[in-house]
Amino acid sequence: MVDFEVVDISHVDVDAPEVGDGAPDFTRPLVNDEYWQDTALSELYNEGPVLLVFHPMDGAFPATYVWNEIRDRGWEGREASYGDLQVIGVSVSSPYEHKTLIQERGIDSRLFSDPGAEVAEAYGIDWELDGMTGVREPLPAVFLVEEGTVRYAWVAEEWPDFPNYDEIEAAIDDL
């Protein structure tokens, strides 16, 4: 990541769960390649660990980059401490946009739709976008959730910023 301006976002008030904290539960439409259905995060982590990936709205290049990398690393469905790992995206985009992203990027994971950014707020990572009045979204962030407890946490500190995929992979391997 060079050749473009990286902006300091230390002014954003972040209050995200840390390793060992409980992951705030929530219900939102969960989108797969065929349909969407209201689903609670707890329903997911009761079945297996969840890698919760907050990213900018679908169509922004970071969303594309992040999903390309995750898809190529083959994390979805990896055998874990209990059940299989579920990679779950979250953005403010609508279910229709999530379906398009899933199709265009060949994503085999599911995404929550959080248009009001209340989930981002519950995770203490919501921020107002400059130049898009009234639009709030999550800072890029990744939480690995095992039985409701955060096992790995990362929140962007500049803009744009990308997860450390090797670090996440190590956390997945440690489950």
Partner 1 sequence: MSRSEAAITLYRLQACPYCERVVRVLQDNDVPYESRFVEPMHSDRNVVRRISGKRTVPAIVDENTGVTMSESANIVEYVEAEYGDQETDTGVEA
Q: Which residues bind to partner 1, rule: CB under 8 A?
A: 29, 34-40, 43, 95-96, 99
Residue located via tokens 């996440």: 168
- Strand spans (E) along 32-175: 36-40, 50-54, 86-91, 110-113, 126-128, 136-138, 141-146, 149-155, 158-159
Joined together, the tokens standing for residue 46 give 């009761």
Dist. CA 163–CA 167, nearest whole Å:
8
Whose Cβ is closer to partner 1: residue 44's or residue 66's?
44
C-beta of 36: minimal distance to partner 1 in Å? 5
Whose Cβ is closer to partner 1: residue 19's or residue 96's?
96
Whose Cβ is closer to partner 1: residue 29's or residue 62's?
29
C-beta of 102: minimal distance to partner 1 in Å? 11
C-beta of 71: minimal distance to partner 1 in Å? 21
Residue 137, classed as helix, strand or coil, is strand
Whose Cβ is closer to partner 1: residue 37's or residue 68's?
37
